[in-house]
């Protein structure tokens, strides 16, 4: 079976998709900052960007799995499945706020849960990358760090069940889950762009 190292060395589509994930993530950060500084329409742009980020993340997981992602002790399929389910949940969360079905706070909780599942995939994927040769030592470390921080989003599950949608009255513990966005907006895009840009030498 082809390894991830060999596959990414020859598959430019995966590399481009990984870079796109990082660019969209950084774009969502910029749009969010502009929303706080300027206002409309950057809030809506951010909502769309987050949904696209979730979709592209799920697509990246599927492509890596189909093109030879090494399994992390048999968890490859489960990890990829978690990423796909997480991507779908992120898209649902984005749709909730775009359609004004809920406010941004509850939609953000839903998105946090989705990215937490994607974080589990990141951890499994990067553990398998770490066991392969010809990759930068820090690349899997960045991926695992991003995945762990993103997985903090699981803390919002009770908030989703409670239907919390008011930032002013939200309990303090809910912000533990929101810390996951530090991984989503900063470490994950660095890892994605690095993954897509690196060209390992295959003998």
Is residue 122 packed enough to be buried (19+ CB in 10 Å), middle (13-18) or exposed (0-12)? buried
Nearest to 122 by CA among 195, 173, 176, 49: 195
Tokens of 189: 């895009």
In this structure, what DSSP letter does residue 162 have? H
Rg of the chain's alpha carbons, rounded to an integer?
17
DSSP one-letter code for 168: T
Confidence of residue 52 (pLDDT cuts 50, 70, 90): very high
Q: Where are the alpha helices (DSSP H) in the chain?
A: 4-10, 12-37, 42-66, 76-98, 104-130, 138-150, 157-162, 174-178, 180-182, 188-197
End-to-end alpha-carbon separation of the chain, Å? 16
pLDDT at position 199 is 62
Is the pLDDT assigned to residue 163 strictly greater than 70? yes
pLDDT value at 1 more than 80: no
Q: Give the pLDDT of residue 72.
A: 42
CA 32 to chain CA centroid, Å, is: 17
- pLDDT tens-digit map of 121-140: 999 988 888 776 567 778 88
DSSP 173: T
Nearest CA among 69, 29, 18, 28 for reference residue 51 = 28
pLDDT digits 0-9 by tens, 84-108: 999 999 999 999 999 999 999 999 9
Residue 3: the pLDDT is 46
Among the residue ranges 21-25, 81-85, 126-130, the one predicted with the least confidence is 126-130
């Amino acid at each position: 079976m082809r390894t991830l190292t060999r596959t990414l060395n020859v598959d430019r589509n995966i590399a481009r998709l990984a870079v796109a994930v990082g660019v969209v993530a950084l774009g969502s950060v910029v749009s969010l900052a502009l929303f706080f500084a300027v206002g409309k329409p950057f809030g809506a742009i951010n909502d769309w960007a987050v949904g696209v980020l979730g979709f592209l993340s799920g697509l990246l997981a599927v492509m890596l799995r189909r093109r030879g992602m090494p399994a992390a002790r048999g968890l490859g399929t489960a990890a990829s499945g978690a990423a796909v389910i997480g991507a779908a949940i992120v898209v649902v969360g984005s749709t909730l706020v775009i359609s004004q079905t809920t406010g941004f706070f509850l939609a953000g909780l839903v998105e946090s849960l989705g990215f937490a599942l994607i974080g589990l995939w990141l951890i499994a994927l990067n553990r398998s990358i770490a066991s392969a040769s010809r990759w930068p030592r820090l690349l899997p470390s960045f991926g695992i760090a991003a995945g762990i921080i993103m997985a903090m989003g699981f803390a919002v599950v009770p908030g989703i069940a409670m239907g919390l949608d008011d930032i002013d009255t939200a309990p303090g513990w809910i912000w533990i889950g929101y810390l996951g966005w530090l991984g989503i907006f900063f470490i994950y895009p660095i890892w994605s762009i690095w993954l897509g840009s690196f060209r390992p030498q295959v003998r």
